[in-house]
Amino acid sequence: MNKNNIAVIFGSRSSEHEVSCISASNVISCIDRDAHNVFIIGITKDGRWLSVNNVEEITSGTWVNNTKTAIISPDTSHKGILFIDNDKVTFQAIDAVFPVLHGMHGEDGTIQGLFEMAGIPYVGCGVVSSGVTMDKLFTKIIVDTLNIRQAKYVAVNKSELNDKDAVCNKVEAKLPYPVFIKPSNAGSSRGISKAHNREELINGLIEAAKHDSKILVEETIIGRELECAVLGSKSPIASGVGEVIATTEFYDYDAKYNDTSSREDISPSLPDGVEAKIREYALQIFAAVDGYSLSRVDFFLEKDTDDIVFNEINTIPGFTSISMYPMLWEAKGVSKTQLVEKLIQTALHRFE
């Protein structure tokens, strides 16, 4: 049997670099080596593209000391990787790319544009879909057309922070405290904070501005945090619904990846009809943003009303040992190895 050549790319200059390394280690370990040859490319925090030999180099962190460059050629006659080792250049054709890149420069459509230019099939959403879903403000504008409830919000540009009182007045005119402050383009809850008063709002805006020039200030939804996984291409399917149970005030970066007391329930008890409606909404939102291959769609179930409130969509969700996306599919009988294979197949058939 002829094997497919699959390039896995991880790391990048994103604030989620470390999570990408963990996710990539798990993805690579789940690839069927009887069906695929695997070529690993790591992108350092300062933007160098390096050839990585194995998962052990990723888990130990020693891959950043490698000297052999590995880059995806944008030349459509190549459709592969250029390896540069000192003055020697070699070439490796590839059949598909599996980007395991969370956040900016990986989940925002930029690297997807490179794959499109190169004519190389890839796992995940396309250029436009990745771009609009990475940007929380654009996502809200799209979901507004679906008649699906979202948290009320105020958009703030970094340049407005020159007059902080005016920004606070704008927010306070529309939203009561407490409010959440989020960079419009960031993932894994990077740069997110909760403000109970004007002083905390100003501090939160300053912190969010470190991550993006566009900022969202949202009303607080008190309720349960629920997530649904979507998988497929022409006829995508939705998983069951899982619940995030955080022990902190909100599910921030530390709670997601460092707080062992936070947990995920992949079979929560929900009011009648809620799971079916969330699955329906997840597919509607995935279609509205022209999703492809995979996404995780997050919601709140409001405490007093049992209203379903859309939160956000992640087009390259985490693949760590505690990540909800693979756990939800395992609950449906799809192992991590089977899931990775299904995702690779969405890439291989992308341009058909």
pLDDT in tens, the chain (352 residues): 799 999 999 999 988 899 999 999 999 999 999 999 999 999 999 999 999 999 999 999 999 999 999 999 999 999 999 999 998 999 999 999 999 999 888 999 999 999 999 999 999 999 999 999 999 999 999 999 999 999 999 999 999 999 999 999 999 999 999 999 999 987 556 789 999 999 999 999 999 999 889 999 999 999 999 999 999 998 999 999 999 997 656 544 554 545 555 688 999 999 999 999 999 999 999 999 999 999 999 999 999 999 999 999 999 999 998 899 999 999 999 999 999 999 999 999 999 8
**Residue pair 184/225 in contact by the 8 Å Cβ criterion:** no
**Residue pair 251/244 in contact by the 8 Å Cβ criterion:** yes
Coil, strand or helix at 206: helix
Question: Which option is the CATH number for 133-149+221-348: 3.30.470.20, 3.40.50.12280, 1.10.10.60, 3.40.50.720?
Answer: 3.30.470.20
The two domains 133-149+221-348 and 153-219 share their CATH topology (first three levels equal): no
Give the whole-angstrom CA distance, residue 249 versus residue 238: 29
Check whether the bond before 236 is cis (ω within 30° of 0): no
In this structure, CATH architecture of domain 4-122: 3-Layer(aba) Sandwich (3.40)
Give the whole-angstrom CA distance, residue 186 versus residue 180: 14
In this structure, CATH architecture of domain 153-219: 2-Layer Sandwich (3.30)
Give the whole-angstrom CA distance, residue 53 versus residue 40: 7
Domain extent listing, the chain: 4-122, 133-149+221-348, 153-219
The greatest distance separating any two alpha carbons of the chain, rounded to the nearest whole angstrom, comes to: 67
Closest CA to 218 of 126, 310, 350: 310
